[in-house]
Copies of this chain bind each other. A is one copy, B any other.
Amino acid sequence: MKDENKRHKILQAAIKVFSEKGFYNSRVSEIAKEANVADGTIYLYFRNKDDILISLFEEEFGKIVKNMRAALEKDPDPLKKIRRFAMTHLSIVSKQQELGEVMGVEVRQSSKFMKEYINKPFIEYLNIIRSVVIEGQEKGLIRKDLTPGIMKRAFFGALDEMARYWVLSTQKKHSIDDAALQISDVFIRGMMSEEARENYPWPP
């Protein structure tokens, strides 16, 4: 198993095939064909079909988590971080549509057993939002009566549903950036503390 490159080729092929047909309607042989390898070769790099999806999440989602963290470091302001999260998230999805499709569509489908595996990086991703919310609360910018654990899911859910729509719809009605701005704007205003609203008006 010299060829780390081949593993990557298979994962890329899997993203494409899964995004087109969904996990359960995808055939291992289609992935092999798309990756220009023999069916058997897949099994040199992955234990089984499930393992392809799991690896996809662990590795690709891992990268995304890393990139997101890097993107947010630029902004010291938690409120701006929220906006940036939205922009970055939807930009990732729009740039890697197929990956986005697999993420958004497939995360929820697999058997509950698989969900455990998949959830790890996913929860990590969600917790980026949670950290920002907590940071905002500590700095007095976000209302303390809001539960960070609820906010992280609400915000992610809002973006994710939007992304799914955008990715699946053939004619893109709304600009994806516009959606990111509107959604983050609503969340920021909605979560802002009273003091912040006076001293630190939004939009900046």
Contact = CB atoms under 8 A, between A and B. Distances in A.
Nearest to A110: B22
Contacts of A115: 168
Nearest to A119: B168
Interface in A49-88: none
A47 interface: no
A145 B203 CA distance: 13
A37 interface: no
Interface string A72-114: 0000000000000000000000000000000011101111100
A190 interface: yes
A182 interface: yes
Interchain residue pairs A-B with the least CB separation, the first 4:
A157-B161, A190-B190, A186-B190, A154-B158
A43 interface: no
7 contacts: A22-B110, A24-B109, A106-B109, A147-B174, A153-B162, A154-B158, A157-B162
